Structure 1
Amino acid sequence: MEVELKLLLSPADNDLLLQHPLIAAHARAPVRSQHLSARYFDTPDLHLLRHGAGLRVRKIDGAWIQTMKAGGSVQSGLHRRNEWEGPVDRPWPRLGKLRKLIGDHQQWLDVLAADDLKTRLEPLFVVTVQRHSWDLDVDGNHIELVLDHGHIERHGHQVPVNEIELELKDGDPASLFAFALQLQEQIPMRLSNTNKAERGYMLCRQTGTVPYRAQSLSLAPDATAADARLAILNNCLQHIQRNENAVIEGDDAETLHQMRVGVRRLRSALKLFEACAPCPPALQEDINWLGTELGAARDWDVLLASTLTHIQASPGGRNSVLDLQTLALKTAHAKRREAAQALLSQRYTRLLLTMGLWMQLPAEGMDEPATAFANSTMKRLHKKLLKRAQRMDDGAPETIHRTRIAAKRARYALEFFHSLHSGKALRNYLKTLSATQEELGRHNDLVVADRLLRELGQQHEAAAATVQFARGYLQALQAAQPANLATICADLHALRLP
């Protein structure tokens, strides 16, 4: 099993790494330099990719080496994959030799047993890099540090490669995060969840930046609370990081929305376990900062795409808000750029590395079954939700907001633990909480819209009259279509925990 961290850095900072005193202090031997060129193989219908495998043949010191990596996962930035590697006598895979290396791993033998796989394989892309590598001893942990500089090429199209790999050869995975944090103090870097093979396949498929939504989480029936914590936190981090590049490089509002949801899920997850494993204050502060950066941009997206459309659709309202929409769009774009810069910042990289390091540390007092922990947690959240719902007041928006937050946290928790429950009660509970969030969310959107419009009015005096009209219209809409708090409260009290 290969265990490694991947970090991106600017080519301009390569010399800083090559001369870094931290490396000199821990290196077992002088740096090794190699020119590497690897061809990646698959079928025209991407059979290996579809089954979570990658196959390459690389020339090293005049010898051909074939490598297959398959399965595994990326958790809090840590890549874990099965790896089988051995020599071949040509620049083309030898599937027979590969099967012998795989041994009794039937899942991967079945992948290689596909009809006519041998004849259908073809080279899809080439990765060419200049590699510098060091063997490090870091507090008793054996780590291989690699700097790769080069490119990935397919049919004349190239994408650059400039990355660090920290591979654990022997020891504690936490040492990878700790060492990366030390490097990051002097060298700007970004944590990467994408390996070279995945980037090469992006060239083949010409995939764009699309939203990545939360994935269903399955906990083993005999899982402990500690097992559940790690699985849930990793699920939330995956939700966040898989939308990262799309927010930086694209302009789809849904990608930013999904990343913000990922941060909200992470914050809710941390609260579930804070009694036994409290999040370090500095890390919690950074997570809150990230939520604020993404939230500011998302609020303007909602104002544009949802809230202001109510005015546009009103009789005589269209012409009066066009200028307002233009101003809001300009601000939304600026906030999106600020969110992207936040993700490119070293504070964000430090957040992810610190989170990964903290998650590797053992959590005490979490040996109870996950089922028991889930049941007691849901009872506590349900009780809090009913208490908040009972206190909702039309004249006090903060009471409605607190109920919405309580419903959201209860829903996220049940989604985290859903594999431990089943039946109609589970579906009804989730359905009611989703409906509550949506209904109270519309109320909250109007409250937020009023705040944003006030900001626009203060920044653009010439638009003050239009802003005032828009605020008045939305306030009238809110008064005419209030959330039915009594019905929501009654529906929540009628719920039965699964």
Structure 2
Amino acid sequence: MEVELKLLLDPQDNELLLQHPLLGAPARVQQLTAHYFDTPDLHLLRHGAGLRVRTVDGEWVQTMKAGGSVQSGLHSRNEWEGVIDRAWPRLGKLRKLIGDDVHWLAILAAPDLKDRLESLFVVDVQRHVWDVESGGNRIEVALDVGHIERQSRKVRVNEVELELKDGDPAGLYAFALQLLEDIPVRISNINKAQRGYMLVRETAHAPYHAQALQLDADASLREALPAVLGNCLEHIQRNEVAVIEGHDPETLHQMRVGVRRLRSALKLFASVAPCPPALQQDIDWLGTELGAARDWDVLLSSTLARVTATSGGQLQTLALETVHAKRRQAAQALLSPRYTHLMLTLGSWILQVAPLLNGSAVQFSRQIMQQLHKSLLKRANRMDQDDPSSAHRTRIAAKRARYALEFFHTLYRKRTARAYLKALAATQEELGQHNDLAVADRLLRALAQDHPEADGEIQFARGYLVAQQTAQPADLDAIRSRLHTLRLPHIKH
């Protein structure tokens, strides 16, 4: 299993790395050219594998990487590598390296695979390599500078790879944090192969939604914590580049949801693994930065659309300008050393705290769900039409219970879990519409302070939205009654 941490580096900072005292002796320099192979229908990619033949010091080296995971920049993948006698893959030699792993042998046994393979893109980089001892760990540090090419289209490569040769994976995070003190590196959650496939498929960074989490029925708590938190981190980080480089509000929304899921997960595990206060502060900071941009997105795209009289007016223009400014602010937060420090520290903390846990995931989740269900009913009982915040607290309680069950859903009977999740989602939806109006009123009041020249139009919009909220109140009694009839899902036996 190959374990490495990938970091992005601005080319103007390359010299800082080349001269950094942590790296010691002068680097070994190699010119590496790798052809990546797959079928026209991307058979290997669809099965989570990548196959390349790289020229290294006059030899052809064949490598297949497959499976594994990415968590907070830490890439863990199966790797099979060996020297071959040509620039084209030797599948027979690859099968021998794989040995008795029936899953990956079956992938290579696809009909006519050898004849259908073709070179899809090329990665050409100059590599500087150092062997470093740090904190009792042996780490290979590599700076890759070059490009990925597909039919004359190129994307730049300028990244650092920290590969663990021997020791504790948490040591990679510790070493990266030392580099971050002097060099503004950023975590990379996609590798060169994935970037090359993006050229092949001509796709941009699409919104990444939370993936269903699979836990075995006998999973331990020490297995569940990194699985749950890693799932949240993937949700956050797979939207990161799109928020920085793109303009799709859905990517920002998904990244914010990822942060909310992370915060909820940390609260779930607080009794057995309390999050360090400094780490929690940085997570709250990230949520605030993304939340500000998302709130304005909702105001512009959804809430103001209800105020038909202001369509195309000055208010729309001011709201659009604010949306763009908030999105730029969110992107800058993701480019900041604070964000990188957060992701590195969080990844390291997960690796260190998980082995200390005891107990089963089933018992833990049962206790947690009982507590959350009790809290939800308590909040629902206190809902009052004259106190909008009471409905908001119930909505938050429903969201926390839904996230918790989504994390542990494979431990419960499918039918009862689905019914519970459906009821919670409906509660969130009903109470969320009115929360959006409350947030909109707060944003419009702030906009009026900054732009008194548009006060008349803004006050009209505020009045319209308040009237709409008054005319269509949420049926709190019906919601409360529905929640009281709700039964917790059953654990699988």
Q: For this structure pair, what is the TM-score category when the shorter chain's length is used for normalisation? A: over 0.9
Q: What residue identity is the alignment partner of 2:15?
A: D
Q: What residue identity is the alignment partner of 1:46?
A: L
CA 1:378/1:43 → structure 2, altered by over 3 Å: closer, same or farther?
same
Aligned to 2:332: 341
Aligned to 2:13: 13
Aligned to 1:129: 125
Q: In the aligned structure 1, how far is the partner of 2:70 from the partner of 2:472?
A: 46
Deviations 1:299-336 (A, max 9, x none): 01111111111111xxxx255x6221111111111111
In the TM superposition, what are the counterparts of 1:36-75 in structure 2 within 5 Å? 36-75=32-71
- How far apart are residue 71 of structure 1 and its match? 1.0
Aligned to 1:253: 249
**Where in structure 1 are there 5+ consecutive unaligned residues?**
none
Aligned to 1:355: 346
Partner secondary structure for residue 214 of structure 2: coil
> When the two structures are superposed, what TM-score results if normalisation uses the length of structure 1?
0.96
**Residue 418 (structure 2) pairs with residue 422 (structure 1):** no
In the TM superposition, what are the counterparts of 1:358-377 in structure 2 within 5 Å? 358-363=349-354, 366-377=357-368
**Residue 423 (structure 2) pairs with residue 432 (structure 1):** yes
Q: In the aligned structure 1, how far is the partner of 2:101 from the partner of 2:397?
A: 46
Q: What residue identity is the alignment partner of 2:88?
A: W
C-alpha RMSD of the superposition: 1.2
Deviations 1:377-419 (A, max 9, x none): 0010111111111111122222111111111001100111110
Aligned to 1:2: 2
**Residue 486 (structure 2) pairs with residue 490 (structure 1):** no
- How far apart are residue 362 of structure 1 and its match? 3.1
Q: In the aligned structure 2, how far is the partner of 1:419 from the partner of 1:346?
A: 37
Partner secondary structure for residue 138 of structure 2: strand
Aligned to 1:405: 396
In the TM superposition, what are the counterparts of 1:299-338 in structure 2 within 5 Å? 299-312=295-308, 317-318=309-310, 322-338=313-329
Aligned to 2:382: 391
- How far apart are residue 136 of structure 1 and its match? 1.0
CA 1:15/1:423 → structure 2, altered by over 3 Å: closer, same or farther?
closer
Partner secondary structure for residue 215 of structure 1: coil
In the TM superposition, what are the counterparts of 1:141-290 in structure 2 within 5 Å? 141-290=137-286
**Residue 102 (structure 2) pairs with residue 106 (structure 1):** yes
Partner secondary structure for residue 307 of structure 2: helix
Is the CA contact 1:276–1:365 (under 8 Å) kept in the aligned structure 2?
A: no
**Residue 289 (structure 2) pairs with residue 298 (structure 1):** no
Deviations 1:25-80 (A, max 9, x none): xxxx6421111111111111111111111111111111111111111111222101
Q: In the aligned structure 2, how far is the partner of 1:108 from the partner of 1:211?
A: 29
Q: What residue identity is the alignment partner of 2:12?
A: A
Q: In the aligned structure 1, how far is the partner of 2:93 from the partner of 2:157?
A: 30
Partner secondary structure for residue 361 of structure 1: helix
Deviations 1:150-197 (A, max 9, x none): 111111111000000000111100000000000001000110011111
> When the two structures are superposed, what TM-score results if normalisation uses the length of structure 2?
0.97
Q: In the aligned structure 2, how far is the partner of 1:406 from the partner of 1:189?
A: 38
Q: In the aligned structure 1, how far is the partner of 2:238 from the partner of 2:356?
A: 32
**Residue 79 (structure 2) pairs with residue 83 (structure 1):** yes
Any runs of at least 4 consecutive aligned residues in structure 1 with deviations exceeding 6 A, and if so which? none
Partner secondary structure for residue 448 of structure 1: helix
Partner secondary structure for residue 193 of structure 1: coil
Is the CA contact 1:277–1:364 (under 8 Å) kept in the aligned structure 2?
A: no
Q: In the aligned structure 1, how far is the partner of 2:129 from the partner of 2:300?
A: 50
- How far apart are residue 364 of structure 1 and its match? 7.0
- How far apart are residue 423 of structure 1 and its match? 4.2
Partner secondary structure for residue 362 of structure 1: helix
Partner secondary structure for residue 258 of structure 1: helix
Q: In the aligned structure 2, how far is the partner of 1:382 from the partner of 1:39?
A: 54
Is the CA contact 2:226–2:354 (under 8 Å) kept in the aligned structure 1?
A: no
Is the CA contact 1:276–1:363 (under 8 Å) kept in the aligned structure 2?
A: no
Query: Which 10-residue stretch deviates more, 70-79 or 378-387?
Result: 70-79
Q: In the aligned structure 1, how far is the partner of 2:414 from the partner of 2:328?
A: 44
Is the CA contact 2:142–2:160 (under 8 Å) kept in the aligned structure 1?
A: yes
**Residue 29 (structure 2) pairs with residue 33 (structure 1):** yes
Q: What residue identity is the alignment partner of 1:11?
A: P
Aligned length: 489
Q: In the aligned structure 2, how far is the partner of 1:328 from the partner of 1:286?
A: 28
**Residue 440 (structure 2) pairs with residue 465 (structure 1):** no
Q: In the aligned structure 1, how far is the partner of 2:296 from the partner of 2:193?
A: 37
Q: Percent identity?
A: 69
Is the CA contact 2:420–2:488 (under 8 Å) kept in the aligned structure 1?
A: yes
Partner secondary structure for residue 394 of structure 1: coil
Q: In the aligned structure 2, how far is the partner of 1:385 from the partner of 1:178?
A: 40
Aligned to 1:453: 444
- How far apart are residue 139 of structure 1 and its match? 2.1
Q: In the aligned structure 2, how far is the partner of 1:59 from the partner of 1:196?
A: 16
Is the CA contact 1:276–1:364 (under 8 Å) kept in the aligned structure 2?
A: no
Query: Which 10-residue stretch deviates more, 443-452 or 322-331?
Result: 322-331
Is the CA contact 2:215–2:410 (under 8 Å) kept in the aligned structure 1?
A: yes
- How far apart are residue 252 of structure 1 and its match? 1.0
Q: In the aligned structure 2, how far is the partner of 1:90 from the partner of 1:427?
A: 53
- How far apart are residue 365 of structure 1 and its match? 6.3
Q: In the aligned structure 2, how far is the partner of 1:188 from the partner of 1:120?
A: 43
Deviations 1:470-489 (A, max 9, x none): 11111111111111111111
Is the CA contact 1:299–1:448 (under 8 Å) kept in the aligned structure 2?
A: yes
- How far apart are residue 133 of structure 1 and its match? 0.5
**Residue 466 (structure 2) pairs with residue 475 (structure 1):** yes
Deviations 1:272-292 (A, max 9, x none): 011111111111111001100
Q: What residue identity is the alignment partner of 2:11?
A: P
